[in-house]
């Protein structure tokens, strides 16, 4: 799997569909909007909560989000079996690319496997059990309590990095599945 090639393909697809949607709407992208689309900010204004944070509106970004949503919905109506948008969303999520936020606003969602919730609950129960064992009615010395505290922090950090690695593997498998489905579809159509 070539992550750079996947990212470039996803960017070409999404940027092309948004530009096409802008043209279809009768108002093509301005130079500012095209520049913003090609160089998406790492922390989009759309991620701020307008109820708690005063942020000046970015009309260009808002238009790109609206065009992205319109492009996604119209593409779904024309070709409901296409997995191109899901492929792009998975690639952007895996690469932590800022375009991820635009697709999230367009209505795409990352579907976690069902067993993820069960795994999370089991891990939480094991962690609570570990804490209960550490807090048992046994007189602990200060050094032992510090060791238990550092052990818990290390366990939490380990769980965080392991869960991120599991999510990356799941996204890589999902991208490969979309790639295979797309390849199969082109073979059948051709």
* Higher-scoring residue by pLDDT: 27, 135: 27
Between 13-17, 70-74, 128-132, 140-144, the lowest mean confidence (pLDDT) is in 128-132
Output the average pLDDT for the chain: 80
Looking at the fold, whether 105 and 135 belong to one and the same domain comes out as no
Q: Which domain holds residue 73?
A: 3-110
Same domain, 16 and 53: yes
Q: In terms of domains, do 105 and 116 share one? A: no
Check whether residue 8 and residue 59 sit in a common domain.
Answer: yes
Which of 110, 143, 166 is the C-terminal boundary of a domain? 110
In terms of domains, do 75 and 8 share one? Answer: yes
Boundary-marking domain end, from 57, 81, 110: 110
What's residue 54's pLDDT?
Answer: 62
- Average pLDDT score over residue span 150-174: 85
Burial class (CB in 10 A: 0-12, 13-18, 19+), 65: buried
Q: Name, in order, each residue with C-beta under 8 angstroms of 85's C-beta and a sequence gap of 6 or more.
A: 14, 72, 75, 76, 103, 106, 108
Q: What is the crossing angle of helices 3-24 and 31-38, to 10°?
A: 160
Q: Are residues 78 and 134 in the same domain?
A: no
d(CA 40, CA 36) in angstroms, rounded, equals 5
Least confidently predicted of 68-77, 93-102, 140-149? 140-149
Are 60 and 126 contained in the same domain?
Answer: no
Q: Are residues 12 and 103 in the same domain?
A: yes
Domain count, the chain: 2
Q: What is the DSSP letter of 24?
A: H
100 and 187 co-located in one domain: no
What's the token pair of residue 153? 């922090």
Q: What is the DSSP track for 93-115?
A: HHTT-THHHHHHHHT------TH
pLDDT at position 136: 72
Instruction: Say yes or no: 95 and 165 in one domain.
Output: no
For 114-158, the DSSP string reads: THHHHHHHHHHHHHHHHHHHHTSSSPPPHHHHHHHHHHHHHHHHH
Asked if 152 contacts 131 with a C-beta cutoff of 8 angstroms, the reply is yes
Given 75, 110, 145, the domain boundary residue is: 110
Are residues 135 and 175 located together in one domain of the fold?
yes
């Amino acid at each position: 799997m070539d992550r750079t090639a996947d990212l470039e393909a996803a960017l070409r697809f999404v940027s092309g569909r948004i530009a096409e949607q802008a043209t279809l709407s009768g108002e093509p992208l301005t130079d500012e909007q095209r520049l913003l689309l090609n160089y998406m900010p790492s922390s989009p204004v759309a991620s701020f909560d307008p109820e708690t944070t005063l942020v000046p509106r970015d009309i260009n970004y808002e238009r790109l989000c609206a065009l992205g949503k319109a492009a996604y919905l119209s593409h779904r109506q024309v070709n409901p079996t296409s997995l191109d948008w899901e492929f792009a969303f998975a690639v952007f999520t895996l690469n932590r690319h800022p375009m991820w936020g635009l697709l999230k606003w367009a209505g795409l969602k990352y579907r976690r496997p069902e067993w993820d919730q069960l795994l999370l609950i089991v891990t939480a129960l094991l962690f609570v059990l570990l804490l209960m064992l550490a807090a048992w009615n046994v007189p602990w010395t200060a050094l032992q309590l510090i060791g238990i505290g550092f052990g818990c922090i290390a366990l939490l950090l380990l769980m965080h990095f392991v869960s991120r690695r599991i999510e990356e593997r799941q996204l890589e498998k999902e991208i490969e599945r979309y790639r295979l489905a797309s390849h199969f579809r082109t073979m059948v159509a051709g």
